[in-house]
Amino acid sequence: MIKFEKNISDFWSQDLKDFKFAVLSPLTQAQRDHWSHPNYINEINSLEQAFDNDLPEYWPRFMEELNITDGTVSWTNIAPGNVVPVHTDKFYKLRKKYGVERDECIRYLMFLQDWELGQMVEFEEKILTRWKKGDVWSFGIDDPHCAANATQDNFITCQINTFERK
């Protein structure tokens, strides 16, 4: 269930403008198969991402701001004109790093920039728009969601992942 958690004061903006993402993540064949639909023609080819040590050196602070001791942090860029189709998260890096099961994982979505007209993140019960830089939302592992960037600017978010042992 999508839930607003808090707003974190900006400590990252100076690094966003010229940040070079470490990974251009092409979709896996499974994602392409899952997201394929006869009416979906404008297929997204990749997302820019950076994880943990590829981020600025203060990346653990994102976890500290949420009182998280074990987890992973990533930044994701949805370039202008791109869409991330409906999906649920797999938490691959978190599960690999800590040996946890998917049902133990928790996701926090943090907006690194103020909202612009044309950006959105949608869940079944809520559409997120008009966010402020630093707004943090949490949601469950089985909450399907999607995102779109119909602006002329990059749409960069931060994902903070952690877990609760069952």
Domains and CATH numbers, the chain: 3-163 (2.60.120.330)
The C-alpha atoms of residue 16 and residue 126 are separated, in whole angstroms, by 27
Tokens of 46: 């990749």
Express each pLDDT in 73-114 by its tens digit. Answer: 999 999 888 888 888 999 989 999 999 999 999 999 999 999
Q: By the 8 A CB rule, do 76 and 31 touch?
A: no
* Closest C-alpha to 116, from 129, 126, 106, 107: 129
Q: By the 8 A CB rule, do 114 and 133 touch?
A: yes
DSSP classification of residue 104: G
Collapsing DSSP to helix, strand or coil, 151 comes out as coil
Q: What distances in angstroms separate CA 2 from CA 97, 106, 123, 142, 145, one per listed residue?
A: 25, 11, 8, 11, 10
Q: What's the pLDDT score for residue 94?
A: 93
* Strand 46-51 relative to strand 127-128, pairing: unpaired
Collapsing DSSP to helix, strand or coil, 6 comes out as strand
DSSP classification of residue 59: T
| 123 CB burial (10 A radius; 0-12, 13-18, 19+) | middle
Q: What's the pLDDT score for residue 29?
A: 45
**Model-level pTM?**
0.87
Collapsing DSSP to helix, strand or coil, 29 comes out as helix
Chunked in runs of 10, what are the mean pLDDT values of the chain (166 residues)?
96 93 62 51 65 96 98 94 87 93 95 98 96 96 93 96 91
